């Protein structure tokens, strides 16, 4: 019998957008600024928006919020989600 490996969930920051263009703008800006994260399909728990989100480590939440404001990037919402 093989052992079942548990996939650990962790708390992350998820940014939801109204438009794919806004999602790609954040991705590009974050890459240029060396802010870690990635695009992902928006989890089922978050409805609406364009279906694309950005996720980062929870430890980077304040940094990401400040960055979004400073760069005047357009987002629908920023939430904490465990997955």
CATH number, domain with residue 29? 3.30.70.260
Domain count, the chain: 1
Cβ atoms of 74 and 18 within 8 Å: the answer is yes
Q: What is the pLDDT of residue 66?
A: 98
Q: Domain range for residue 76?
A: 11-82
**3 pLDDT above the threshold of 70:** no
Q: Does the residue 35 lie in any domain?
A: yes
Q: Does the residue 2 lie in any domain?
A: no
Task: Summarize pLDDT for 22-58 with one digit per residue, the tens.
Answer: 999 999 999 999 999 999 998 777 777 899 999 999 9
Task: Retrieve residue 5's tokens.
Answer: 């490996």
Q: Does the residue 27 lie in any domain?
A: yes
Q: Does the residue 3 lie in any domain?
A: no
Q: Does the residue 21 lie in any domain?
A: yes
Q: Does the residue 1 lie in any domain?
A: no
What is the rounded CA–CA span in Å between residue 24 and residue 68? 13
**pTM of the model as a whole:** 0.85
- Measured between alpha carbons, how far apart are the two ends of the chain, in Å? 27
Q: Does the residue 6 lie in any domain?
A: no
Task: Retrieve residue 53's tokens.
Answer: 């989100």
Q: Strand locations in the chain, DSSP E?
A: 11-16, 38-41, 52-57, 77-82
Going 19 to 25 to 31 to 34, the CA torsion angle's sign is negative
């Amino acid at each position: 019998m093989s052992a079942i490996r548990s996939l650990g969930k962790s708390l992350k920051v998820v940014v939801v957008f109204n438009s794919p263009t806004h999602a790609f703008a954040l991705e590009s800006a974050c890459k240029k600024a060396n802010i870690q994260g990635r695009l992902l399909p928006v989890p089922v728990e978050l409805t609406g928006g364009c279906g694309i989100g950005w996720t980062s480590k929870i430890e980077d939440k304040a940094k990401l919020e400040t960055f979004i404001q400073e760069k005047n990037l357009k987002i629908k919402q920023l939430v904490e989600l465990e997955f």
